[in-house]
Chain A
């Protein structure tokens, strides 16, 4: 497996960072220094118990050594190569490329991901009649009114002798319909125009909000420390151009802030280090509701969480309100989200936590552990139904391959 050829290099790198001598690491792992030397120079394959022992001494997860921090990066590079369509000669040396030129690899991978996002947006926008319900409704209104006017007008124009009663009735209808047409066509123009008072509109608001969160790595230390408000953050963000994007970003940040107050970073960090990643235990420790815990875990920096994580929040209609993608897990922004996602099951059963293992076909063979729960976002009353939202935390599974 080409992917594993750098395991030794990663062990060496990690050892040097920690300032441990080769002989010392070898002794702690119960092997000879010369054998460790061979391993470190990728001349011996390593797996099983020895890998686990070395990882423990080095204080990392075994998969960090076998796949490296660049696992996600390599996956993205492979995806880029596959999507480019042209045969790529050096596919077998992808990990070497990522290892030697991590900066360039990152540029390539992030550009590819951005292209994929934009492609999806373009596809959606070019099929707006299907994906923009408001546009479809406006057009339907215009065409229906047009049909009514056309029929009525030609009856008035073409019917030779029309009884006064009918004539008056059709005149009245014509008047009503032309008024409706004026209003619905104005609504249509407004929708297509969407001339926000605020400058140019680059893309869809969700895209802008997503760029904003991505630029911050989904982590806002100043917000957690109370040094800045969501409002100020949003106003200072160059990515947020349209008003709609600002509203989306601000409400997400307000949620983030209140979650962070309930579960402060340093305490969460200690708890995860001491007891591992256990959402139920965290909920008890912080007396926090499960949705708060999942949302909080989803936006923790990888070094605190100990791994990568994706997060999705959606409303009862299944529209995605917040998404933090994770490598290998397709998270479409529009429409075609796979309904099998536990998040949709969770919506059917509010307050019932769900844990499911998800494997996406045609993608990496790695599975994902998905934790989902729906909560009552707006309580019901005698006049209105309760409004539910649901959250899903996506944790890539990190099993060490048997043959590693």
Chain B
């Protein structure tokens, strides 16, 4: 069973922490630090889930999600958005644009893990992934 996530985050240390966490949890993690070609990267990688930062260089997370949802076979792809500003307006705009879940910084690791597992479980209920199936220590720096 493939569990593949693409993380679009320009903050290298956040990206590294999330990559470590999710790798420990059994995910294959691709990190991309730029908004401008994020849609192409996601289309090429065909992930099960996307984690998308709101403030990105090149193109904002909102623009990325809008373009993603315009691609036919990416309309159901679960997208978790990370934002530094939790203002109601940002959240509303993100949800309107098609974000599956919205999370504000600073978040805890367990929040991210839980959210990612939930989203994945919801989207791929048929696949019935056991929540505890951790593949330990597969990540390398």
- Measured CB to CB, the residues of A under 8 A from B are 129, 136, 139-140, 143-144, 146-152, 154-155, 158-159, 163, 165-166, 169-170, 173, 176-177
CA distance A160 to B17 in the complex (A): 16
- Is the C-beta of B84 less than 8 angstroms from some C-beta in chain A? yes
Nearest A-chain residue to B137, judged by Cβ: A163
Quick one: which of B21, B84, B141 contacts A143, CB cutoff 8 A? B84
What distance in Å separates the Cβ of A395 from its nearest Cβ neighbour in chain B? 39
Residues of B within 8 A of A173 (CB): 13, 16-17
Verify A140–B141 contact, CB threshold 8 A.
no
Residues of A within 8 A of B55 (CB): 140
Residues of A within 8 A of B108 (CB): 150-151, 154
Verify A144–B14 contact, CB threshold 8 A.
yes
Pairs A–B under 8 Å by Cβ, sample size 16: A140-B55, A146-B105, A147-B14, A147-B105, A148-B14, A148-B17, A150-B109, A152-B17, A154-B109, A155-B17, A155-B21, A163-B137, A165-B141, A170-B16, A170-B17, A176-B13
Nearest A-chain residue to B17, judged by Cβ: A151
Residues of B within 8 A of A176 (CB): 13
What distance in Å separates the Cβ of A400 from its nearest Cβ neighbour in chain B? 49
Q: A147-B11, A150-B106, A170-B20 are in contact. List 5 more A-B contacts (CB 8 A).
A: A144-B105, A147-B107, A148-B17, A151-B17, A158-B109
Interchain residue pairs A-B with the least CB separation, the first 6: A151-B17, A147-B105, A147-B106, A143-B84, A146-B106, A148-B13
Interface residues of B in 89-107 (CB under 8 A from A): 104-107
Interface centre among B20, B104, B139 (most CB of A within 10 A): B20
B contacts with A, residue count (CB < 8 A): 24
CA distance A344 to B1 in the complex (A): 56
- Is the C-beta of B128 less than 8 angstroms from some C-beta in chain A? no
Verify A143–B20 contact, CB threshold 8 A.
no
What distance in Å separates the Cβ of A53 from its nearest Cβ neighbour in chain B? 61
CA distance A150 to B112 in the complex (A): 12
Residues of A within 8 A of B11 (CB): 144, 147-148
- Is the C-beta of B46 less than 8 angstroms from some C-beta in chain A? no
Residues of B within 8 A of A177 (CB): 13
- Is the C-beta of B8 less than 8 angstroms from some C-beta in chain A? no
- Is the C-beta of B24 less than 8 angstroms from some C-beta in chain A? yes
CA distance A149 to B107 in the complex (A): 10
Interface centre among A146, A147, A149, A158 (most CB of B within 10 A): A147
What distance in Å separates the Cβ of A43 from its nearest Cβ neighbour in chain B? 61
CA distance A140 to B109 in the complex (A): 19
Quick one: which of A146, A155, A166 contacts B141, CB cutoff 8 A? A166
CA distance A149 to B16 in the complex (A): 11
What distance in Å separates the Cβ of A287 from its nearest Cβ neighbour in chain B? 47
Interface centre among B14, B85, B87 (most CB of A within 10 A): B14
Verify A155–B109 contact, CB threshold 8 A.
yes
- Is the C-beta of B18 less than 8 angstroms from some C-beta in chain A? yes
CA distance A208 to B137 in the complex (A): 62
Residues of B within 8 A of A148 (CB): 11, 13-14, 17
Verify A129–B85 contact, CB threshold 8 A.
yes
Residues of A within 8 A of B139 (CB): 166
A151 with B18: in contact, given A129-B87, A140-B55, A176-B13 (CB under 8 Å)? yes
CA distance A315 to B132 in the complex (A): 58
Verify A140–B18 contact, CB threshold 8 A.
no
Residues of B within 8 A of A151 (CB): 14, 17-18, 21, 106-109, 112
What distance in Å separates the Cβ of A154 from its nearest Cβ neighbour in chain B? 5
What distance in Å separates the Cβ of A200 from its nearest Cβ neighbour in chain B? 31
CA distance A165 to B18 in the complex (A): 17
Residues of B within 8 A of A136 (CB): 85
CA distance A152 to B19 in the complex (A): 11
Residues of A within 8 A of B21 (CB): 151, 155
Quick one: which of A140, A144, A146, A155 contacts B20, CB cutoff 8 A? A155
CA distance A166 to B140 in the complex (A): 8
Verify B141–A147 contact, CB threshold 8 A.
no
CA distance A291 to B141 in the complex (A): 60
CA distance A158 to B113 in the complex (A): 14
CA distance A159 to B87 in the complex (A): 32
Residues of B within 8 A of A169 (CB): 16, 141
A166 with B20: in contact, given A129-B87, A148-B11, A177-B13 (CB under 8 Å)? yes
Residues of A within 8 A of B107 (CB): 147, 150-151
CA distance A136 to B83 in the complex (A): 13
Nearest A-chain residue to B110, judged by Cβ: A154
Verify A152–B13 contact, CB threshold 8 A.
yes
Residues of B within 8 A of A163 (CB): 137
What distance in Å separates the Cβ of A167 from its nearest Cβ neighbour in chain B? 10
CA distance A269 to B85 in the complex (A): 56
Residues of B within 8 A of A129 (CB): 85, 87
Nearest B-chain residue to A174, judged by Cβ: B13
Residues of B within 8 A of A154 (CB): 108-109
